């Protein structure tokens, strides 16, 4: 549809149909134009993906989606409104409290506050006041306030004044939302009344830095959640309780897998048991790399900063404050924030023919990112981490096939862990370098590879790295949560910037294309995801201790050790503590051991074992050699749960 009149604009609806409206038409006007019922049900709108108040006027062509109570986005509106109800309740009980910011989140909402001393004992009183505000059914109304009046309202609130001077710089009037005696600077949107708030709960109190910057003032953050119904809230709280039960930080301590001590902030120590799991992960990746034709390399963590400047990584990481750098003897040095430049060096140190390509390097590369202290979170967010990184240098005619081979490998790999893979095509962003032509070519190659493999995917416009588009890999775990893990990226720019070449069939110099690939991403982060996915019960092939032999008394320790020797190819331990056999079994269950082999007089006499697994299935009189063969098959097939105890021997 053409748009010749500057006073007219085009609205594209979710079904891709288009309508023409006068400039200044509001989201609510669009809804009523579609139908009076939709207009009556409108709560808010999504304009080019941004959630806005239904009174928001449109001043340019836009994609518009009407938000009603049935929309996915409605929960975000409800939670934002609940954050305001919390703030109103807090100021009724503690008028001295200064409000900072209170947005909705994926799981609920939070509000950062200052000038008030709160602890968990205060939450019940605040919740009771919130319930009263909901019962009062106060209309929530958007009002426009002159800028000078807004600044005067916040004469003693530096946080709101900063928002006015930065996010709302130059705006006049500015948007407030009022409910009863309470008003808050806010862009919205919100539900129409406090009575629309359903079920809610305040969850916890924590500390937070203003703007997430540890150099700023420390605030008190009160977090909560809200749903339309009590049943939805209870279901959510049950899921949260299960997530807490699976928390990898707690299980890491209980199962003696890893620790992150104060002397190594953001850097994990892997204990022998955790390292056993990590080694199996590494060998699994090495198997995939061998199939894909990658050669393993190692590159140093410490480099001169000059290494990263031509590629653009130095500027990108320094601007984000994520790079550890220092000066020494007139030189600037840094800790490696990624492996790309080192692998590009390995490629560029010799001349290559078109016949040599693809050339593929893989590395378990140790990298460092200067993450803020407040953002560190167990294995999920570290300063020091190890990537299962890989880079392939290919000709253009090899590009799509290379990406497809990696995608097939990813499907097989994640299936071994019982994780569903979700794909996201991330396209060119505002910080992109290089020509539109190479970006289009790179993006098309990724899209064609996904389509050719029959994989469904979402498109995330503008989220690519500065040097090339990528396929982001998310893993969906046992609780339905999605975790960003690996990536596949196509890069024409770094070979250009670093002057990487190969000699073509025409004896001329040509640029290779660089395919960046991380199958599991950070091994550390993936281990955290895996611990929570399995609730610490690793499948037998991956478990740090696959078999524990439990002698019923010390009289059978020698036989237990002989059995352990016969199972020496596996990770086996003998329980030597002077406990009852019942206590030994309970401890093995607590330790999430896949197999317990109980041995006593009967087993020692017949040279057998009694097999018991973590699901409490049992089988007696099993020959050690037969058990060994079944466990060997189970590990080779990478089965997800122990099955030897239900086999016929």
Query: How many angstroms separate the Cα of 147 from the Cα of each of 102, 170, 295?
Result: 21, 9, 62
Distances 418 to 244, 407, 475, 574, 636 between C-alpha atoms, Å: 21, 17, 10, 30, 16
Work out whether strand 8-12 and strand 62-67 pair parallel, antiparallel, or are unpaired: parallel
List active site positions: 340, 369, 387, 389, 391, 470, 516
**CB–CB of 267/301 below 8 Å?**
no
Q: Is 94 annotated as a binding residue?
A: no
644 is in an annotated binding site: no
Asked if 505 and 397 touch (Cβ cutoff 8 Å), the reply is no
- Beta strand pairing call for 331-335 and 325-328: antiparallel
List phi, psi (to 5°) of 31.
-60, -45
Token pair of 158 as six digits: 């530096």
Q: Which of 480, 586, 528 is nearest to 235 (CA)?
A: 480
- Residue 367 CA to residue 372 CA, distance in Å, equals 16
- Answer for the pair 115, 97: CB distance below 8 angstroms, yes or no: yes
Please give the helix or strand (H or E) that residue 450 lies within, else none: helix 436-452
State which H helix or E strand residue 3 sits in: none
Nearest-Å Rg of the Cα atoms of the chain is: 30
Residue 235 zone, left/alpha/beta (φ > 0; ψ -120 to 50; rest): alpha
With CA atoms as reference, report the closest residue to 547 among 577, 576, 568, 578.
568
CA distances from 421 to 42, 292, 362, 481, 532 (A): 35, 19, 22, 12, 16
Is residue 263 a known part of a binding site?
no
Class of residue 421 by CB neighbours under 10 A (exposed 0-12, middle 13-18, buried 19+): middle
In what helix (H) or strand (E) does residue 556 lie, and over which residues does it extend?
none
421 vs 424: CA distance, rounded Å: 10
Q: Where are the alpha helices (DSSP H) in 535-647?
A: 557-566, 581-590, 601-606, 624-636
Detail the residues annotated as belonging to a binding site. Answer: 340, 391, 516
Could you list the residues known to form a binding site for Zn(2+), using ranges. 340, 391, 516
């Amino acid at each position: 549809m053409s748009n010749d009149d500057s006073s007219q604009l085009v609205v594209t609806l979710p079904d891709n149909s288009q309508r023409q409206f006068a400039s200044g038409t509001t989201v609510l006007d669009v809804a009523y134009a579609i139908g009076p019922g939709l207009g009556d049900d409108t709560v808010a709108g999504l304009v080019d993906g941004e959630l806005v108040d239904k009174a928001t006027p449109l001043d340019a062509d836009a994609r518009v989606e009407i938000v009603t109570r049935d929309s996915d986005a409605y929960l975000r509106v409800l939670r934002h409104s609940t954050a305001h109800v919390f703030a109103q309740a807090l100021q009724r009980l503690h008028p001295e409290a200064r409000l900072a910011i209170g947005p909705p989140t994926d799981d609920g909402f939070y509000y950062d506050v200052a000038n008030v001393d709160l602890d968990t004992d205060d939450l019940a009183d605040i919740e009771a006041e919130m319930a009263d505000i909901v019962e009062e059914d106060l209309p929530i109304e958007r009002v426009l306030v002159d800028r000078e009046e807004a600044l005067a309202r916040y004469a003693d609130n530096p946080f709101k004044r900063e928002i006015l001077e930065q996010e709302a710089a130059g705006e006049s009037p500015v948007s407030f939302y009022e409910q009863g005696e309470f008003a808050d600077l806010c862009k919205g949107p919100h539900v129409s009344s406090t009575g629309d708030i359903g079920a809610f709960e305040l969850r916890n109190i924590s500390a937070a830095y203003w703007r997430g910057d540890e150099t700023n003032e420390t605030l008190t953050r009160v977090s909560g959640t809200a749903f339309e119904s009590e049943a939805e809230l209870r279901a959510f709280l049950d899921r949260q309780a299960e997530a807490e039960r699976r928390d990898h930080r707690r299980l890491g301590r209980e199962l003696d897998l890893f620790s992150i001590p104060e002397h190594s902030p953001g850097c994990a120590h892997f204990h022998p048991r955790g390292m056993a799991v990590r080694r199996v992960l590494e060998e699994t990746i090495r198997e995939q790399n061998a199939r894909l034709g990658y050669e393993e390399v190692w590159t140093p963590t410490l480099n001169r900063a000059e290494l990263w400047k031509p590629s653009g990584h130095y500027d990108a990481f320094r601007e984000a404050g994520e790079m550890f750098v220092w000066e020494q003897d007139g030189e600037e040095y840094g800790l490696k924030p990624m492996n790309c430049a080192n692998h590009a060096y390995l490629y560029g140190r010799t001349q290559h023919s078109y016949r040599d390509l693809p050339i593929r390097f893989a590395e378990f590369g140790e990298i460092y990112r200067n993450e803020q202290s407040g953002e560190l979170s167990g294995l999920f967010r570290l300063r020091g981490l190890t990537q299962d990184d890989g880079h392939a240098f290919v000709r253009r005619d090899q590009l799509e096939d290379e990406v497809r081979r990696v995608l097939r490998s990813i499907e097989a790999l994640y299936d071994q862990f019982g994780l569903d893979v979700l794909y996201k095509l991330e396209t060119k962003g505002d910080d992109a370098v290089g020509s539109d032509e190479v970006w289009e070519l790179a993006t098309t190659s990724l899209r064609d590879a996904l389509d050719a493999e029959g994989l469904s995917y979402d498109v995330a416009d503008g989220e690519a790295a500065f040097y090339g588009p990528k396929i982001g890999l998310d893993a969906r775990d046992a609780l339905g949560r999605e975790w960003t893990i690996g990536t596949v990226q196509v890069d024409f720019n770094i070979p250009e910037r670093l002057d990487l070449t190969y000699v073509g069939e025409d004896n001329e110099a040509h640029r290779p294309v660089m395919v960046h690939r991380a199958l599991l991403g950070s091994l550390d982060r993936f281990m955290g995801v895996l611990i929570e996915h399995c609730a610490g019960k690793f499948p037998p092939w991956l478990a740090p201790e696959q078999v524990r032999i439990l002698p019923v008394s010390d009289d059978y320790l020698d036989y237990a050790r002989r059995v352990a020797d016969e199972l020496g190819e596996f990770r086996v331990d003998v329980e030597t503590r002077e406990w009852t056999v019942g206590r030994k079994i309970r401890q093995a269950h607590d330790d999430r051991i896949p197999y317990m082999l109980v041995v006593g007089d009967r087993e020692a006499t017949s040279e057998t074992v009694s097999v018991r697994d973590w699901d409490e299935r049992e089988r007696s009189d099993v020959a050690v050699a037969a058990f060994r063969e079944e466990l060997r098959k189970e590990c080779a097939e990478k089965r997800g749960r122990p099955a030897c105890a239900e086999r016929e021997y």
